[in-house]
Amino acid sequence: MNMKKRTSPKLKFIEAEAGAYISMPITAPVRGFLFSSEDFERIWVFTKAMEKRVAIIGIIVERDGKVDKLNELLHEYGEHIIGRMGLPHRERGISIISLAVDAPQDVISALGGKIGRLPGISSKTLYSNS
């Protein structure tokens, strides 16, 4: 669902307290604003998109992997990375990187997808339950 960014007072109010109104009736007044069922659907989608998750992204870099592109991506998403551990496996000529990430699920998915599309690099993402 593509949501347009609105700057109305209603949207600012929704951003501040979005999760509290999902189970309300079809039309309900909340602090002076009238919400329809369509508004509640938008609120739910908005809060699910912004809900932060913790995940681990496992990365294996082959000898011919695009390490410079990988480092650019990790720098770009650096604000979401909790920690990073890298281990070279010299006998096999690969490097193993583990990233701990705390971000909205769509950000984690985007990062994992971009990493996985780099040539010579494989990645898998494991999400926490909460």
- Kindly report, residue by residue over 12-54, the tens digit of the pLDDT: 444 444 444 444 444 444 555 555 666 666 665 555 556 889 9
Residues 6+ apart with CB under 8 A from 38: none
Structure tokens at 69: 């592109």
Report the share of the chain in percent with pLDDT over 90. Answer: 53
Taking only Cα atoms into account, the Rg of the chain, rounded to an integer number of angstroms, comes to 20
Task: Grade residue 66 by pLDDT with cuts at 50, 70 and 90.
Answer: confident
Q: How many residues does the chain have?
A: 130
Sequence spans of domains, the chain: 9-50, 52-127
CATH class, 52-127 region: alpha beta
